[in-house]
Chain A
Amino acid sequence: VSTHATSSTPLHRTPLYDEHVRLGGRLVPFAGWEMPVQYKGVTEEHRAVRTAAGLFDVSHMGEMILAGEYAAQVVNYLITNDAGKLVDGQALYTCACNEAGMILDDLIVYRIEAKRWLIVCNASNRDKMVAHFRAAADNHCSFEDASDQTALIALQGPKAMAIAALAGPEGAALAELANFHFRDAALAGVPCTAARTGYTGEDGVEIFCSPSDAPRLWRSLLDLGAPLGIEPAGLGARDTLRLEARLSLYGNDIDETTNPIEAGLGWVVKMNKGDFVGREAIERIKQAGPVRKLVGFEMTGRGIARHGYPLLDKQGVKVGVCTSGSPGPTVGKNIGLGYLPVSMSELGTQFLVDCRGRTVEAAVVKVPFYKRA
């Protein structure tokens, strides 16, 4: 068996690196970072998040701050969703596209104040998005890449808010915060900004704090949550959780060769908000109709689809590609996402996945694969 991929490039470490080592996390290279893929095991961590709570280090993600009179216009011009509708303390999920309407990144945009905005981007896209936002901000508003001054910890699961409540009265008050809203809060004595967002399909918060405070907050949440079943969770569980919830992964399901319409992200494209980068191209795509769609599927035969596996019609002709695939520990099936021609995107459509030469039957199914009760 081949078990290792090695990398010789020097890797960044998050402020929680020592915590991961102490917890026995298996560290792997990810987007230039040395990140824990798992601690006790992907399945166990996945189940902890679905039934109790999980704690994720996502400090590798990029944070940018745009501030000033025209910051809102700059932000709204670069994204497909409408930031103009946000109030202070509210965030939204969006794409940022290029002029061709292809996806540069998927982001969460936070309105701190009318004149102060936080953008969180994928770690793998940090350099690209920093350059993109910096260039657009030039002469219009201030720009800061705050990534190295920002740690980010995700507390997710049905017990997440109960654990936040154990971290103090301001933690308890977070339960009242609406989905995709955020506020400052002291958690276990650590000054933070907590947002009701996540990437698991569960309730929870994502917590920003300073890198120097991050280890203390991390340990406190694990200690406080221990009686409720919290587990540290790695990138492996993060991936299976987000896949079950049918949340896109940049670099897998979406990238600069995909547009929001075919990717099922039309709901974060607001054509009536005024001009934005990629608008004309997306208008044309919408008028012509997409040629392919990102569908959810389950393996009906014995096999696991993986990123990059060809999708075949019943005659064995390649018609698409799998963008994400793995066992779904909660749904109990091998599931995946992939692009198929629109004509094959209807629920129930049967097709084949070329699993390295072995063709395995699959069928288009309803997404999300998992939805919390």
Chain B
Amino acid sequence: VTQPPEPSTRRPQIVEKHEEAKKEDHMASEEVLADRRYTKDHEWAKFDNGEVLVGITAYAVDQLGDITLVNIDVKPGETLTAGKAFGTIESVKTLSDLFAPVSGKVARVNAALENSPELVNDDCYGKAWMIAVVPSDAAELEALLEAGAYTDFLKTATH
């Protein structure tokens, strides 16, 4: 197991907002945190204490609407492959796959989501983390989008 390096400088959390969204009063949906990395599928991955915590972004939550069910299909000890589905998330209208941002071994799953899927709407970057993975390839985490690049990606995705 190769562990990715800690970011050398710990920046304070910066909330970046999409310019257009400000005008449209959709600020919350564009919230992107600088302390983690992102996939183009709108998952976030945060390296913390030897684990990568995984969840979905505010943009994804806004697109999905009211979250009604979170199904984590992996158990602690199981191996994950980056890009493969590890579960599904359902809103009133739709079902979406959850994709693993990095490969590794599942350390923990967030059992709280089983009975409180609304946590995803309330706190997608905090209490609604979905799985914790002990990453097997540091390069995978490094290859994910940084906050700025993800914010730029959202601009192209929403226009």
Q: From residue 264 to 313 of chain A, which have CB atoms closer than 8 A to chain B?
A: 302-304, 306
Q: From residue 1 to 39 of chain A, which have CB atoms closer than 8 A to chain B?
A: 1-4, 24, 37-38
A356, B69: Cβ atoms under 8 Å?
no
Give bound CA distance, A236 to B94, whole Å.
10
Closest chain B residue to A5, Cβ basis:
B94
Does A43 have its Cβ within 8 Å of any Cβ on chain B?
Answer: yes
- Least CB distance from A189 to B in Å reads 31
Does B3 have its Cβ within 8 Å of any Cβ on chain A?
Answer: no
Closest chain B residue to A306, Cβ basis:
B95
Closest chain A residue to B115, Cβ basis:
A302
A43, B26: Cβ atoms under 8 Å?
no
List, in ascending order, chain B residues with CB within 8 A of A37's CB.
Answer: 93
Closest chain A residue to B114, Cβ basis:
A302
List, in ascending order, chain A residues with CB within 8 A of B59's CB.
Answer: 3
Does B35 have its Cβ within 8 Å of any Cβ on chain A?
Answer: no
- Least CB distance from A98 to B in Å reads 31
Does A42 have its Cβ within 8 Å of any Cβ on chain B?
Answer: yes
| A236-B93, A239-B93, A327-B92 known; A1 vs B56 contact (CB < 8 Å) | yes
| A38-B65, A41-B66 known; A1 vs B71 contact (CB < 8 Å) | no
Closest chain A residue to B61, Cβ basis:
A1
Q: From residue 192 to 207 of chain A, which have CB atoms closer than 8 A to chain B?
A: none
List, in ascending order, chain A residues with CB within 8 A of B20's CB.
Answer: none
Interface string of B5-36 (1 = CB under 8 A from A): 00000000000000000001110000000000
Closest chain A residue to B59, Cβ basis:
A3
B42, A302: Cβ atoms under 8 Å?
no
B90, A1: Cβ atoms under 8 Å?
no
Interface size on B, residues (CB 8 A): 30
Closest chain A residue to B42, Cβ basis:
A1
Interface string of A310-337 (1 = CB under 8 A from B): 0000000000000000110100001000
Interface string of A38-54 (1 = CB under 8 A from B): 10011100100000000
Q: From residue 23 to 61 of chain B, which have CB atoms closer than 8 A to chain A?
A: 24-26, 41-43, 56, 59-60
Does A358 have its Cβ within 8 Å of any Cβ on chain B?
Answer: yes
Which one, B74-82, B96-104, B138-146, is touching chain A? B96-104
Does A240 have its Cβ within 8 Å of any Cβ on chain B?
Answer: yes
List, in ascending order, chain A residues with CB within 8 A of B65's CB.
Answer: 38, 41-43, 236
Closest chain A residue to B91, Cβ basis:
A42
| A3-B63, A239-B93, A327-B92 known; A304 vs B43 contact (CB < 8 Å) | no
Closest chain A residue to B97, Cβ basis:
A2
A1, B66: Cβ atoms under 8 Å?
no
**Among A1, A2, A4, A304, contact of B68 (Cβ-Cβ < 8 Å):** A304
Q: From residue 236 to 255 of chain A, which have CB atoms closer than 8 A to chain B?
A: 236, 239-240
**Among B26, B97, B114, contact of A1 (Cβ-Cβ < 8 Å):** B97
List, in ascending order, chain A residues with CB within 8 A of B98's CB.
Answer: 1
Give bound CA distance, A326 to B94, whole Å.
9
A3, B24: Cβ atoms under 8 Å?
no
- Least CB distance from A237 to B in Å reads 9
List, in ascending order, chain A residues with CB within 8 A of B64's CB.
Answer: 1, 3
Give bound CA distance, A139 to B64, whole Å.
51
B69, A2: Cβ atoms under 8 Å?
no
Q: From residue 166 to 203 of chain A, which have CB atoms closer than 8 A to chain B?
A: none
B71, A358: Cβ atoms under 8 Å?
yes
Give bound CA distance, A194 to B92, whole Å.
31
Does B88 have its Cβ within 8 Å of any Cβ on chain A?
Answer: yes
Closest chain B residue to A42, Cβ basis:
B92
List, in ascending order, chain A residues with CB within 8 A of B99's CB.
Answer: 1
| A304-B69, A358-B71 known; A43 vs B92 contact (CB < 8 Å) | yes
Could you write out 12 A-B pairs with CB less than 8 Å apart? A1-B43, A1-B56, A1-B60, A2-B97, A3-B96, A42-B65, A239-B93, A304-B90, A304-B95, A329-B92, A334-B68, A356-B95
Closest 8 CB pairs of A and B: A3-B63, A1-B96, A42-B92, A43-B66, A1-B60, A327-B68, A236-B93, A2-B96
Q: Knowing that A3-B60, A303-B71 are A-B contacts, what are 6 other residue pairs whose CB atoms are under 8 Å apart, sorted by A's residue number? A: A42-B65, A46-B92, A304-B68, A327-B68, A327-B92, A334-B68
